[in-house]
Each structure stands twice: as C-alpha cells, then as structure tokens.
Amino acid sequence: MTAEEDAQQRPTLVGIGGDSGSGKTTLTGALYGLLGEERITSICLDDYHALDRRERALVKLTPLNPRANNFAEMEEHIWRLKRGLAVEKPVYDHRDGTLGPPETVVPREIVMVQGLHPYLIPGVRHAFDLKVWLDPDPGLRLAWKLQRDTSKRGYRDDQVRAEIEARRADAEAYIAPQRKHADLLVRFQSPSPGSQDMAHLSVRIVQRHTMPRLNFHDQLHTASAIHLDLGVIDEDGQRADVIVIDGQITPREAELVERSTWEHMDGVHGQAHHVPPERLGSYEAARQRQHSDPLALTQLILGHRILSARKSYLVRITEDGHRDLDPDHAHM
Amino acid sequence: MTAEEDAQQRPTLVGIGGDSGSGKTTLTGALYGLLGEERITSICLDDYHALDRRERALVKLTPLNPRANNFAEMEEHIWRLKRGLAVEKPVYDHRDGTLGPPETVVPREIVMVQGLHPYLIPGVRHAFDLKVWLDPDPGLRLAWKLQRDTSKRGYRDDQVRAEIEARRADAEAYIAPQRKHADLLVRFQSPSPGSQDMAHLSVRIVQRHTMPRLNFHDQLHTASAIHLDLGVIDEDGQRADVIVIDGQITPREAELVERSTWEHMDGVHGQAHHVPPERLGSYEAARQRQHSDPLALTQLILGHRILSARKSYLVRITEDGHRDLDPDHAHM
C-alpha cells in the first residue's frame, strides 16, 4: 500500500457542535446526498451519556453536565475512528432516555460527530479536522426544540420550557464556551424578533482563519442579498470572514449563487455528487418538508469546507506520516 | 521577568498512579521531608469522582468506572495547575463517601497527583512530566487495603474483600492498562507468598527509557542485595533498566547505599533537603510507625527522579517557551 492509498483509509473527522435544538440534524441531513451517503459515518455524542435519564434524575444532573458524560470512552472511541478502526459504541435512545446495547460503528471516509460537548476537552477537540458550531438565536432554538421534543421525544410543551430553564446554568458553563474553539460558526437568525418564518431565516456564517482560504467569495458576491465582511474580528476575538445571507433572498438569486458555488466546489474537488438543488435546504416544520434557500446555501458551503478539510488532511498525512493519528502525538 | 524566572513559576507535574491500596500515600509521604514541604502541592484524583458513594450505589457504578468520574473537570484543573494557576477543586471525603464544598489549591513547584486514572485519557496523561505507577503484588495490596479501609474508612474486613471482588472487572478494564504509559514502575513484592512481613518486602523498580539516564547505578551496585538489569524489555514490551532491592538487605548495606545515592542526588541537584535517614522508609502497620529499607531506597530514587524531571522541564520551557503549557499545543 502506498502512503497515499494508506492515507485514503484514514477518515476525516468533522465536529458539529451546539446546544440541544440548535439544528445539528437539519443542517447535516443534506450532506449525505451532497457528498454521498456511502462516504459518511455519523455518530452522536449523546450516546456517551454516562447516566441514563432515570439515573440523571436520581442524582440530579442534566445531560449537559460533564459529570453525566463518559469523556474517557468518548475520547478513546473518537481516536479509534480517526485511525480507521471500528468501535462498539454505546447507544442512547432519546425516545425513552435509556442506554441500550452497544452497536458496531465502522468509520467511512468522513466521520461526522454531532453533539453537545465535541470541543469541551482538548483530548476530544484535537481529533477534529473541521470544527463546526451551531449557534442559532435563542428564540429560534426554543421553537426548534419545542417542535422536535414534543413531536419525537414524547415531551409536553411546558416540560420542554421547564427543561430549558433547568439546563440554563449548565448550558452557560459547559456548552457556550465551546464556541470559541470552532473553525466555522453558523447562526440562523429570525427576520424579526419572535418570527418563526423558517423559510426566510437569515444566516450568518463565520469562517475563522484557522481554516484555509477557499476563494469562493466572488461567487457569493453576485447576489445583493449576500453580504461579506472579510478579515473582521468576530465575537470571540478571532480573525474571520463573515458571510450573511439575507432571508429575503429571492429564489432566482439563490439559484444563481447555488449554481456558481456548486461549480466552484466541483472545480476544486471534483468529487461532490450532483444532488438536485431541491434536495438541499430542506427542513421539517409542522410535519411537512419545507425549503429554505439560506439553509441550502449554508449546506453547500459546509460541504465545500468538509471536502476541503478532507483534502488538506490527506495531503498532510501523506507527507508527514501518521503522527497525528495518535492522540499521544497529535496535538501539535 | 526573565524566561528563566518565569519558568521557575511553572510547576512540574508528577503522577502517582495505581489501584486503591497500592501504597501511593505511603510511597509519597516521605517526599515532603525529602524535597521540602514548602515546594510540594499534592492532590488526589478521587476528588474528581462525578458521583458520591450514595449516588454510585443508586446507579450501580464503581469508583473505578470512568462513568463515575469527571474527566472534563480533571483535565481542565490539571492544565491550570501546570500553568501555575490555582483551582477550586472538589473534595471527596473518603470517610463517608460524600462530595463536600470545593477548596482552593495553589500549585507549588512540584504538584504530585495521586489517583486511580492519571493516565487513562491522553488529555490528562500528557500533562505529566513524570509518570509513576505502583503495582504491588496482589496479596500485598489486599493486606494494605484491608488495613487502611478498616482502620480509617469505616469498612469491615468482609466488606473490603467483597468490594475488591465487585471492582475486579473495572480494575482490569480501566486501571491495569494504564501501567504501560508510566515512566517508572514500582512493585513491592512479598518475600514469600502470603507473607506480610512489610519490613522485608523486596521492591522491583522499572525505569523506562522514556526518562533521561541518571547514572546513579554505580551507587546501587555496591550492595549485593541490589540487582540491576539494564536495557531489558519489560512486561509491557518497553525498553527499561530494572533495579531489584532484596527485602533481606541488611541495615548496614542499606545505609551505605542510601548515603551514596543521597550524595549523588545532592551532587546532581544540590537542592534536596537533608532529611535524616530514619525519616525515609517509614510506614504504618498495626497503628505503629515501622521502617523498611527497600521503601527508603525507593523513596530516594523517586525523589531523584522528581528533581531530575523538574530540571529537564525548566530547561525545556526556558528554551522552547511555553507551548507545552497549553493543552492545545502540549502533546508533541
């Protein structure tokens, strides 16, 4: 096996972090079609809860508290996956809050790791080749969480609200501080306070300079509803390029930008599948599939970033060997 | 502040790992006198239990299980201490198994970290400048644990034995595998199976080549009761120098070796306090202070290694700056 072939066997790890209800599943759903389902393995860090729902109630801990999570096993599994090895992952069932029998997870080319604490401890944080953080405005997150938890997790509306209150202190202590470690922030914003018109949400994408430049900003600039701020200092004091996509972008303008971003991505990577544009930007509301152009564009940009992270990673491990596959030597 | 003065402010971290009852406290007790109490801060990782004794019983977890420990907070605190910063450390009370109010810990020059899981996760493991592991033979450990837990922790003899059985699977899964990460192994051995003649225990000290050479083996070689095996492959497949001190060493021979090791240590470091030899090698049995020459020699060698780790660390951070004080950059 050549170094290059060997490198191809090594998965690229993408972290998708954010509080409960921040849209992790919605944002990443379209990536299967975009990058190819057969290339992606996805895991959720909720499976590393150390305590099930009943046990957390007994000892009065929220799932956001590090004490309720098994970081030792999480860290071990993440590094096994990064080396291309299968793991026997525990399984947390959100429907009834129990931990079921473990399942075998075999890493494919891209491993997407969603969760509440992907960047809390350095030993896990350093495994990621791309670190994404979702940070929607609080009103939106409440609406999203209410919708999901009442329809899919068996909670009542007042229970969801009470739970958010009960978790607030832990969210501030353990979830919010992780944002500063991300490479890419995504913030969906209501067009006006209290509005829940999901089809016309704006989105603010912060691309920190911890990532390579991709030179696709010219493609975005063709739309008047897209605003770019390059080389600014962001909310965490880091140098970044910011893209704001206005929720009022017209379908025609969105389509043009999608097409040119798509062509740019295809030119750079030549690997993306040709998902029909209507497959991107899809979300569930009132038990119906709906479409959002800003969401579609965000998914395209995220796909572009993932392929780019994959590419840099392959170059790096082909050239430098596998030092960074060992947690004992990875954290340069 | 010069780089050198700044470096002096940075503590050296020494890990002292091993299962419950492996002699961590006995081995390290003499180091306060040997190196100077005012230079040492000592913490115990049991304080990072995520669950107290009552909660562990409710959810049926042993303290050895990573799920019962807060590795996120442990990792954060260890790196704060390494940077010379104080922490508000939780406090676990072994007498009644409760978690009390936190206490402020200010790191001194040398921070000794005793515990069950110092090397389980890379994010904690990498903070240590010297990693020691205690691995007494199982019969001895049982005797030590019985003695301590019945006299100081309010357990009955049969409870201690039942507890060891209940913990066996977790000990094999989570404690024993850490040994391979240590720089220095210490194994006390009974002179004959079942014997509990602590005063005449032998000790096997494995010095792995992950540590610098210290050239004090000539001092040890003067005693016929001390056997050296240099450059062997040890039980974990690692290159090491092994020192075996026979429990039958005579007080006269022990004294000569202690003196010459002491002089060597003083010549190399010039920093050790002059603890009267009778202060080393002391242990408690049947509520009395007793003396062991092999223990005294082990403590001297450990003290030598700690000062040497401190010295290499100061040289390294004075020359290279403080990259390795940041968990994000330390793990080269």
What string of DSSP letters covers A118-155? TTSSHHHHTT-SEEEEE---HHHHHHHHHHHHHHHS--
Nearest chain A residue to B53, by CA = A59
Query: Does the domain spanning A3-325 belong to CATH 3.40.50.300?
Result: yes
CB atoms within 10 A of CB A332: 13
Interface check A57 vs B, CB under 8 A = no
CA distance B93 to B53: 10
pLDDT at A274: 64
Interface check B71 vs A, CB under 8 A = yes
Residues of chain A in contact with residue B126, where contact means CB-CB under 8 angstroms, are 328, 331
Tokens of A236: 């965490």
Q: What number of residues does chain A have?
A: 332
Count of CA atoms in the C-beta half-sphere (13 A) of B234? 26
Query: CB-CB: which of B58, B123, B332 is closest to A332?
Result: B332
Residues of chain A in contact with residue B58, where contact means CB-CB under 8 angstroms, are 55, 58-59
Tokens of B108: 């001194």
Please give the full DSSP string across A82-121, using - where no structure is assigned.
Answer: HTT--EEEEEEETTTTEEEEEEEE---SEEEEEES-TTSS
Provide CB contacts within 8 A for A134, sequence distance 6+.
A16, A17, A18, A22, A23, A24, A27, A185, A186, A187
Distance from CA of B230 to the nearest CA of A (A): 26
CA dihedral A188, A192, A194, A195 (to 10 degrees): -80
Please write the tens of the pLDDT for every residue from A186-207. Answer: 999 887 766 667 778 899 999 9
Given an 8 Å threshold on Cβ–Cβ distance, is A331 in contact with B75?
Answer: no
pLDDT at A273: 66
- B240, containing H or E segment: strand B239-245
Interface check A69 vs B, CB under 8 A = yes
CA distance B235 to B223: 25
Do A178 and A113 touch, CB atoms closer than 8 A?
no
Please write the tens of the pLDDT for every residue from A281-305. Answer: 888 777 778 888 999 999 999 999 9
Please write the tens of the pLDDT for every residue from B99-116. Answer: 999 999 999 999 999 999
What residues 119-138 of chain A have any CB closer than 8 A to a CB of chain B? 120-126
What confidence tier does A7 reach under pLDDT thresholds 50, 70, 90? confident
Q: Is the pLDDT of residue A49 over 80?
A: yes
Query: What are φ and ψ of residue B327, in 5° steps?
Result: -60, -25
Nearest chain A residue to B323, by CA = A332
Given an 8 Å threshold on Cβ–Cβ distance, is B68 in contact with A50?
Answer: yes
Q: Where are the domains of chain A?
A: 3-325
Given an 8 Å threshold on Cβ–Cβ distance, is B332 in contact with A327?
Answer: no
Query: CB-CB: which of B73, B120, B122 is closest to A328?
Result: B122
Please write the tens of the pLDDT for every residue from A224-243. Answer: 899 999 999 999 999 999 99
pLDDT at B271: 62
Provide CB contacts within 8 A for A297, sequence distance 6+.
A203, A245, A254, A257, A258, A261, A281
Distance from CA of A294 to the nearest CA of B (A): 34
Q: Give mean pLDDT, residues A31-43.
A: 90
Regions of chain B where pLDDT drops below 50 = 329-332
Please write the tens of the pLDDT for every residue from A110-167. Answer: 999 999 999 999 889 999 999 999 999 888 888 888 888 888 878 899 998 998 899 9
Mutation target among B45, B54, B59, B82 for the A interface, most CBs of A within 10 A: B59
pLDDT at A312: 85
Mutation target among B53, B331, B332 for the A interface, most CBs of A within 10 A: B331
pLDDT at B320: 66
Percent with pLDDT over 90 in chain A: 54
CA distance A105 to A103: 6
pLDDT at A331: 42
pLDDT at A271: 62
Query: CB-CB: which of A51, A68, A70 is closest to B66?
Result: A70
Q: Give mean pLDDT, residues A53-75.
A: 95
pLDDT at B1: 63
Q: Is the dihedral of CA A191, A194, A199, A202 positive or negative?
A: positive
Tokens of A247: 């929720």
Do A69 and B121 touch, CB atoms closer than 8 A?
no
Given an 8 Å threshold on Cβ–Cβ distance, is A66 in contact with B73?
Answer: yes
Interface check A83 vs B, CB under 8 A = no
CA distance A22 to A17: 9
Q: What are the distances in angstroms from CA B60 to CA B53, B164, B166?
A: 10, 15, 11
DSSP state of A174: I
Tokens of A50: 């150390």
Residues of chain A in contact with residue B174, where contact means CB-CB under 8 angstroms, are 72
pLDDT at A329: 46
- Judged by DSSP in three states, B19 sits in coil
Given an 8 Å threshold on Cβ–Cβ distance, is A328 in contact with B126?
Answer: yes
